[in-house]
Amino acid sequence: MLTIHQRLGTVSPVSIDARLTLTHDQREKGRLRATCDDGEEIQVFLERGKTLDVGEILKSDCGKNVQVAGAIEPVSEATCDDWETFAKACYHLGNRHVKVEVGDRWLRIRPDHVLEAMLIQQGLTVKAGEAVFKPESGAYAPGTSHGHSHHASHGHAHAD
């Protein structure tokens, strides 16, 4: 059994010894047991709160390099031709804290008949499909450059 404690990132000049295909839910875990594509069992012990990226390379304690792949899973894909309609649909999903993968006037969510009905009502076309689900990580997720900081210069008056 392979044991993983180390990440090498997605761009690493190493040879790949094994491939580990995971669903989105599995990629969100820092600790998991799974089976590599070649049948070898693996234990992953990484820091909590950081998802595994598709293409990321992990190094086992015995020196093997394992590349993470995304599993094909059920998704609902919604599309439209109008940017305003698309933006409003994204807003409504975000307002509900739904995990969304966003493309050029298309989005993917996990299958959910209530959300699908809402998207259709908003004017999008929704169809069931299968794909590697890679939702946005969020504006404040580690590793993003969209961080937010509070400064006294935001128009708030301070008494001295």
Say what the pLDDT of residue 51 is: 86
Q: How many CB atoms lie within 10 A of CB 3?
A: 12
pLDDT < 70 regions, the chain: 138-160
Say what the pLDDT of residue 73 is: 98
* Mean pLDDT over each residue of the chain, to the nearest integer: 88
DSSP 91: H
In terms of domains, do 6 and 66 share one?
A: yes
Asked if residue 37 is part of any domain, the answer here is yes
CB 57 within 8 A of CB 14: yes
Domain end among 70, 88, 119:
70
**Could you list the residue range(s) of the whole structural domain that residue 49 is in?**
2-70
Asked if residue 40 is part of any domain, the answer here is yes
Longest dimension (CA), the chain: 67
Phi, psi of 120 (to 5 degrees): -65, -45
Chain-centroid distance, C-alpha 144: 13
- Mind listing the pLDDT tens digit for each residue in 15-45? 999 999 999 999 999 899 999 999 999 999 9
Asked if residue 118 is part of any domain, the answer here is yes
In terms of domains, do 64 and 7 share one?
A: yes
The CA radius of gyration of the chain, in Å to the nearest whole number, is 20
Say what the pLDDT of residue 155 is: 42
Sign of CA dihedral 109, 112, 118, 122: positive
Structure tokens at 34: 């799974």
Say what the pLDDT of residue 139 is: 64
pTM to 2 decimal places:
0.80
What are the b/e assignments for 104-124, b being 16+ CB within 10 Å?
ebebbbbeeeebbebbeebeb
